[in-house]
Structure 1
């Protein structure tokens, strides 16, 4: 089957997959909707990645996106995570603001949101405010907590939990390729510190 062209894409109406080569397809639904898909296979695993609507994304751009995905897969990278990176990974402060906003509707009053922000502003933002969330590491979190671990155990407990909540949102949103490095940070802190297992949001 020959490669697709802008003319053939516009004229195509038959539902199904129309191949361009190397796992790149124009997909036409029964409704007539057209979209681009890149099919990749590596180590026995098969995945399809949507590349956008064919009415909004030009053929040349869709081919370029497909090439990027194939390259990422060959390099052992997760295309979904890499595409998120291209969209711009937020700094920690921006991610925290999104979390506070999303949880705010479930909080009984504004006081809780202000407490969240005040805690982060006092103990977390001075250290990792402008750091992109995928670069936040366990040792960085441990360093934040070490300043208040013994002197302000209740505050330290809340700081740890709130950092974890932000990074859980980050992971779920695809901005990190690993879960939050918060759970094990207490191993590097004094044993007389507070118990972090009880508090939830």
Structure 2
């Protein structure tokens, strides 16, 4: 009788209830505080209206396809992430005993037989980047801008780092005497610690932030204990009438400059961008981070930016 009661109770537990419990359970483990918000938004927009108040045990392949098919070819990246989120929630529900059997949101050997390959339908979009020949003129205008976002963007360009790495930077990560910024693994896309050699101009910019120091963050937001908004630098570009480029695109600007105008080896340039080595055999031997060579590269880059 107890087992029957458990089964009856499980039949009343909705997919949305399980999704909310899953998000709450994983919230603290996600490195990006906006991750939970993204999960909630995609599930609320696409999954909940289709699954409605159905129990999680009733979610089958037909329902999953009803969610994914309308956006698989038009919003492929969103659809792909959504599928993975649905799969994770259903796995969680299975472990909890709220459902049983195969996961209907599984891709390999299941949905991949029903949906066209992502590579066939997804258009590759690159972040609009500034040509490196135009960079020095841009930097003059950037340095004339006031405010925290302008200083943060200049540091981002000089270090070829990502938005979240810059806005999340704290004082404890910097050794300004040695000219090293050590970004911990949990803040890196590849989940691997990244040591960034700081050119002289970047060191000067960070030191200047000490004069307006408020809390732990190098580039604080409006509230002392929060970092600069992840939209602040993009909004700065808009104010500068540069809607034609993106913040992330400056990494491409750096890579084009390094590849086309310098003699630094490819692995040094890729290491500067904290890119992982795709070849597993090559990666097994490349255990160093080429820091000394990267330091020379980044100083040359800073000189070019100037």
TM-score by length of 1: 0.53
* Alignment CA distance shift 1:112-1:142 (3 Å): same
Counting matched residue pairs gives: 116
CA distance in 1, matches of 2:104, 2:90: 8
Residue 124 (1) aligns with residue 44 (2): no
CA distance in 2, matches of 1:154, 1:136: 22
CA distance in 1, matches of 2:85, 2:46: 11
CA distance in 1, matches of 2:75, 2:17: 26
Residue 186 (1) aligns with residue 112 (2): yes
Q: Over aligned residues, Cα RMSD in angstroms?
A: 1.8
CA distance in 1, matches of 2:57, 2:10: 11
- List alignment gaps of at least 5 residues for structure 1: 1-64, 69-78, 195-201
The equivalences for 1:143-182 within 5 A come to 143-182=66-105
The equivalences for 1:34-113 within 5 A come to 65=1, 79=3, 82-89=4-11, 90-113=13-36
CA distance in 2, matches of 1:172, 1:83: 18
Structure with the higher fraction of residues in strand conformation? 1
Report if the CA contact (8 A) 2:18-2:93 is conserved: yes
- SS of structure 2 residue aligned to 1:110: coil
CA distance in 1, matches of 2:79, 2:9: 33
- SS of structure 1 residue aligned to 2:30: coil
Structure number with greater CO (CA < 8 Å, separation at least 6) is 2
TM-score by length of 2: 0.36
* Alignment CA distance shift 1:103-1:150 (3 Å): same
CA distance in 2, matches of 1:92, 1:145: 16
CA distance in 1, matches of 2:112, 2:8: 33
- List alignment gaps of at least 5 residues for structure 2: 123-306
Structure with the higher fraction of residues in helix conformation? 2
